[in-house]
Amino acid sequence: MRAVIQRVSEASVTIGGKKTADIKQGLLILIGIEDADTKEDVDWLCAKISKLRIFGDEDGVMNLSVTDVNGDIIVVSQFTLHAATKKGNRPSYIKAAKPDVAVSLYESFVQCLKNETGKPVQTGEFGADMKVALINDGPVTILIDTKNKE
């Protein structure tokens, strides 16, 4: 699994002209699932993100998690995070998991974040054409790949 975690002062998702997710301070998480991903990847990534200290404390030091600051979360599925660009100019998405595998892992990840943070987690819609808007705070953007745990 690959995740792009962005610390935001606000973010939203619009599908078909209708806003389906809308947050203030928190995290916008873009999540890409590949064929080799398992529930173990979901659990590891969820625990890592929920405890990730990327919010400023009273001294401005990144020392607080999204839970510590009572931040909100949006999770958006994004298979393009597994784009292979080594050959040619047209990305290949051969490693991206098909919906029959990806949807259950995506839903499991969202549920895990709800459990870990004790907060609701807003989402996009798996497979939909989404318009994602955000104001990246910092900017702070972190990339995590569960295949690079060590």
Which candidate in 6, 25, 38, 78 is catalytic? 78
Which candidate in 6, 55, 79, 117 is catalytic? 79
130-145 vs 2-15, strand pairing mode: antiparallel
Distances (CA, A) of 93 to 28, 80, 81, 96, 124: 22, 7, 9, 5, 20
Which tokens is 12 given?
A: 């939203």
Q: Cα angle vertex 8, ends 49, 117, to 5°?
A: 35
Which candidate in 6, 14, 67, 80 is catalytic? 80
Element (H, E) at 93: none
Measure the CA–CA gap between 120 and 55, rounded to whole angstroms: 19
Does the annotation count 80 as an active-site position? yes
Residues designated catalytic = 78-80
